Structure 1
Amino acid sequence: MSDTPIEFKDFIRIIGRGQRAGRTLTMLEAEQAMSMIINGQATAEQKGAFLMLLRVREETPEELTGFSQAFRAHTPTSITELSVDLDMGCYAGKRRHLPWFLLAVMLLAKNGKRVFLHGTHEPDSKRLYLKEVLPQIGFEVAQTPDQAKVALDTLGFAYMDLKHINPQLDGIIQLREQFGLRSCANTLARMLNPSNAAHSLQGIFHRKIDVKHRETAALLNDANVLCFRGEGGEVEFNPLRDVTLHLSRSAQQSSEEVKATCETFITKPQELDAKQLISIWNGELDDTYANYGVVGTLSLMLVLVDKLDWNVAYQQAQQMWQGRDKTWPVALPKYNLAAETFDTTGKHYAH
């Protein structure tokens, strides 16, 4: 490709000409193409064709790197300057279990780390998202970087919706309602690290995507990234399943196999009540799966942030969970006392 400006249709032609004539995009081409989409230099039809061609063929780490660079260039400095230790993209939502990873986030925050959470709500996915859960248990969803800073300073963690961070990227995710399929935007949102934190924890659902995350992190030269197949695709350790931890630290890649930590048969609840997060935290309710899920997720965080061996991290996480201050840190709003439970039955979409 020449250095002279080209039309967006040229990028579609590159990836869409078939197995013999077509090819993948270079990192520079990928960054140029996504920048044109972000800047409105592609029609709606061109954007749809581009994203769905990639969806069918699947993106390469080089393409994901270029796309990530384009979106990161559009992250407001007011967010990148929040001073955060750990960034977590919460984009899968939950359908079988409550977001127990939130309790692990609270524990890490109580031990001096600042955690920035971000996510969105996918149309028609029929999942329970973190931004729906937080208000029910007394936490505010930050609408602005200033509100996020207040939450980080007072609680040690904050959540912002992607539409307030990178509306262009969120807009592509919302196109699922029209396409009926997810696009690379779901992957890019997990990789975004809008807070420019030194550490990024990424959960995915589909096999082999974790390797692609690791390879992309290496190409981006991100300082510390840990990607794994989380429960339902979320950033939560599944104690019932063996998992591979994929790490990239300043382009140095590694992986580690971790065995399932819970051998007890767990029956999936038919309803999810967000207030049970409080009951588990304050000790009023005991749940085997929740305990293992919280400790396992906290262990992942310690492996990433404190560079601990898994066994050491797990032992430390158990001690932190058992020794926690069981007082719920915020007051509960009266309106949530009759909050509806989430039905776990029926069809849900994986991402």
Structure 2
Amino acid sequence: MPEIMSDTPTDFKHFIRIIGRGQRAGRTLTMQEAEQAMSMVINGQATAEQKGAFLMLLRVREETAEELAGFSQAFRTCSLASVADLSVDLDMGCYAGKRRHLPWFLLAVMLLAKNGKRIFLHGTHEPDSKRLYLKEVLPQIGFKVAQHPEQVQVALDTFGFAYMDLKQINPQLDDIIQLREQFGLRSCANTLARMLNPSHAAHCLQGIFHRKIDEKHRETAALLNDANVLCFRGEGGEVEFNPLRDVTLHVSRNGQQSSEDVTATCETFITKPQELDAKQLISVWTGEFDDIYANHAVVGTLSLMLVLVDKLDWTEAYQQAEQMWQGRDKKWPVVLPEDKSEVVPFDTTGKHYAH
């Protein structure tokens, strides 16, 4: 754990003063200061009022790459150590949830796993966001949400991928995400969860929503000297390729940064469905239902994974992803449990909050 400046919680006001004095007198935190400040938050050395003020001041001003790197270092020391012992090729933080389309990226995950890669997924359920989260979808299509690393290991060995909730992996970070219920706003915790890579995988795929944040993710990964990180503006902020929109892929490999522009792959006008039924993931995989948008989303997301993991250029990755999708074993890999309770489809209408 990083060295703490003082044992008294009131000294945390030092960091609030630095970022809260205004444009002229205030300044941003150095990477070391950011790590010290967040370590104090984690260790309970800041009062609830101080923590709230600190997070919301950062929210209004927006965090720098140096601050995010320092915060990440602090939280990475808190992740469940046994998760890092798992053998994983690709780490994916699934924190945005979906509101317009089903999580088609899950089919890309399954396909990559069937081709020999091991993928660890993690996420949470953010209060008041009114979105469909992966941990709600998985049980509906026959997969379990792992409650501890032993179940993760079984799922990885059986299916090649596993999902575990942030609450079990890093409860301190999840607690801050859940503060949205009190703040009415997200904090930097949502960003830090995407950067966490608790499995210590050699590759980390990160999806975001807002413009320019992808560049900040890349810069932060470089400061942390993370091995292989790809960040992009995903559909709804999730780790899913949006085939209807041009996108820039931001990559950092051991401190070396690069970017690549990719054009939209689907020219067909798509009307968002009014309801999302998780069972449709199965029917698209088995070929019982042909969905143009889903096909493009799966192939595009798989292409991103191949660019990151196999270091392919986009054109080669996309050709290979198309071949993998067309040549997949269309049998659904699990037997669906007999569940007599009726699952209400997710309503895509109404107000939802961005990430």
Distance in 1, Cα, partners of 2:303 & 2:153: 26
Give the 3-state SS of the residue equivalent to 2:19 in structure 1: helix
Q: Name the residue aligned to 2:282.
A: 278
TM-score normalised by structure 1 residue count: 0.98
1:56 to 33, 53, 60: 60
Q: Which runs of no fewer than 5 residues in structure 1 stay unpaired?
A: none
Aligned-partner Cα distance in 2 for 1:329–1:321: 15
Q: For residue 228 of structure 2, what is the amino acid of its counterpart? A: N
| Residue 51 (structure 2) aligned to one of 44, 47, 52 | 47
| Aligned 1:57-206 pairs, distance under 5 A | 57-206=61-210
User: Contact (CA 8 Å) 1:109, 1:156: kept in 2 or not?
Assistant: yes
Is the 2:129–2:352 contact (alpha carbons within 8 Å) kept by the matching residues of 1? yes
In structure 2, the residue matched to 1:30 is 34
Deviations 1:83-111 (A, max 9, x none): 10000000000000000000000000000
* Equivalent position of 1:329 in the other structure: 333
Q: Tell me the TM-score normalized by structure 2.
A: 0.97
Alpha-carbon deviation of 1:338?
A: 3.0
CA distance in 1, matches of 2:178, 2:4: 33
- Equivalent residues in 2 for 1:9-28, closer than 5 Å: 9-28=13-32
SS at 2:339 equivalent: helix
Aligned partner of 1:251 among 255, 265, 274: 255
State the secondary structure of the residue aligned to 2:220. Answer: helix
Once residues 342 and 113 of structure 1 are traced to their aligned partners in structure 2, the CA distance between those partners, rounded to angstroms, is 31
Give the whole-Å Cα distance in 2 for the aligned partners of 1:332 and 1:125.
29
Measured in 2, the distance between the counterparts of 1:165 and 1:88 equals 14
Are the counterparts in 2 of residues 136 and 336 from structure 1 also a CA contact under 8 Å?
no
**Partner residue, 2:317:** 313
1:266 counterpart residue number: 270
Deviations 1:177-221 (A, max 9, x none): 100100000000000000000000000000000000000000000
Question: Partner amino acid for 1:72?
Answer: R
Q: Percent identity?
A: 84
Look up the SS of the partner of 1:89 in the other structure: strand
Report the residue type matching 1:66 in the other structure. G
**What letter corresponds to residue 185 of structure 2 in structure 1?**
L
After superposition, the Cα gap between the structure-2 partners of 1:152 and 1:4, relative to the gap in structure 1 and judged at 3 Å, is closer
Match of 1:215 in 2: 219
User: Bigger CA drift: 337-346 or 52-61?
Assistant: 337-346
Letter matched to residue 44 of structure 1 = A
Unaligned runs of at least 5 residues, structure 2: none
Aligned length: 350
| C-alpha distance in structure 2 between counterparts of 1:142 and 1:45, whole Å | 34
4+ residue runs over 2 A deviation: 2-6
* Cα distance in 2 between the residues matched to 1:285 and 1:336: 24
Deviation at 1:76, TM superposition (A): 2.0
